[in-house]
């Protein structure tokens, strides 16, 4: 009888331990994405993403000017894909996206330094 109770208790503990482990599976840390640009410049940008996830967003079309997209101050962090959408790989930190529209050959970084 005692052995039977011990087996039942062991089985119950294994089921509980498995449930706890499974409950944590599939939950990855999400990092915040902040956009600092005119409302019309960036569309369909997610509010957060997990490390390693491809983040895709739409940048407004601009004529007669250059559009620079900065991810955490880095102009060369992402790229435009074949559909014309901007994408980057989410790092393991919160990111800030800034968009500059530059005309007449004048280009400046988000910190105000010339490109």
Q: What is the spatial distance between Cα 15 and Cα 83, in angstroms, rounded to a whole number?
A: 48
49: containing domain: 30-102
Query: Residue 16 falls within a domain, yes or no?
Result: no
Q: Give pLDDT tens digits for 46-78.
A: 999 999 999 999 988 777 777 889 999 888 788
What is the Rg, in whole angstroms, of the alpha carbon atoms belonging to the chain?
A: 24
What would the pLDDT profile of 10-41 be if each residue is shown by its tens digit?
A: 554 454 555 544 445 567 899 999 999 887 88
Domain assignment of residue 37, yes or no: yes
Q: Does residue 74 fall inside a structural domain?
A: yes
Asked whether residue 64 is domain-assigned, the answer is yes
Residue 53 lies in a domain: yes
Residue 47 inside a domain? The answer is yes
Predicted TM-score of the model (pTM): 0.65
Nearest CA to 94 out of 28, 31, 29 is that of 31
Task: Decide if 79 is inside a domain.
Answer: yes
DSSP-H helix ranges across the chain: 2-24
Residue 3, domain member (yes or no): no
């Amino acid at each position: 009888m005692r052995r039977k109770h011990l087996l039942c208790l062991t089985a119950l503990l294994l089921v509980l331990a498995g449930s706890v482990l499974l409950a944590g599976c599939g939950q990855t840390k999400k990092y915040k994405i902040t956009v600092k640009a005119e409302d019309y410049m960036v569309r369909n940008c997610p509010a957060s993403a997990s490390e390693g996830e491809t983040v895709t967003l739409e940048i407004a079309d601009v004529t007669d000017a250059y559009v620079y997209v900065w991810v955490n101050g880095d102009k060369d962090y992402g790229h435009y894909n074949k559909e014309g959408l901007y994408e980057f790989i989410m790092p393991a930190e919160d990111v800030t996206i800034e968009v500059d529209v530059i005309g007449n050959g004048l280009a400046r970084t988000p910190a105000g330094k010339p490109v």
